[in-house]
Amino acid sequence: MARIFSGILGDFQGKVGNVIGSRWRGISYIRSLPSPSGKEPSEKQLAVRLKFGLASAFVHPIRSIVNLGFMDTKITDSTAAANLIGSIINTAIIGTYPELKIDYSKVILSKGGVPSLKGLGVTANSPSEFILSWAFTAGRFSGKGSDKVLAVVYDDLKKEYLVVEDATRVSKQTKISITEHMTSDSLHVWVFCIEESTNEVSDSQYMLLKRS
Tens of pLDDT along 107-143?
Answer: 999 999 999 999 999 999 999 999 999 999 988 889 9
Mean pLDDT of the chain: 87
DSSP code for 10: -
The answer to whether residues 29 and 12 touch, using CB atoms and an 8 Å cutoff, is no
pLDDT band, residue 38 (cuts 50/70/90): confident
| DSSP assignment string, 84-103 | HHHHHHHHTEEEETTEEEE-
Q: Residues 6 or more apart from 18 whose CB is under 8 A from it? A: 32, 33
Stretch(es) of the chain classified as CATH 2.60.40.10: 118-210
Dihedral sign of CA atoms 138, 143, 149, 154 in order: negative
| Helices and strands (DSSP H and E) totals, the chain | 3, 13
Architecture of the 118-210 domain: Sandwich (2.60)
Percent of the chain at pLDDT > 90 equals 71
The answer to whether residues 209 and 126 touch, using CB atoms and an 8 Å cutoff, is no
| Whole-number pLDDT of residue 71 | 80
Q: What are phi and psi of 57, to 5 degrees?
A: -65, -35
The answer to whether residues 40 and 82 touch, using CB atoms and an 8 Å cutoff, is no
DSSP code for 51: H
Q: CA-CA-CA-CA torsion for 113, 199, 83, 105, nearest 10 degrees?
A: 60
Bridge-based pairing of strands 99-102 and 129-135 is unpaired
Q: What are phi and psi of 58, to 5 degrees?
A: -75, -40
Percent of the chain at pLDDT > 70 equals 79
DSSP code for 126: E
Task: Please give the average per-residue pLDDT across 53-57, as a whole number.
Answer: 97
Residue 36 has pLDDT above 60, yes or no: yes
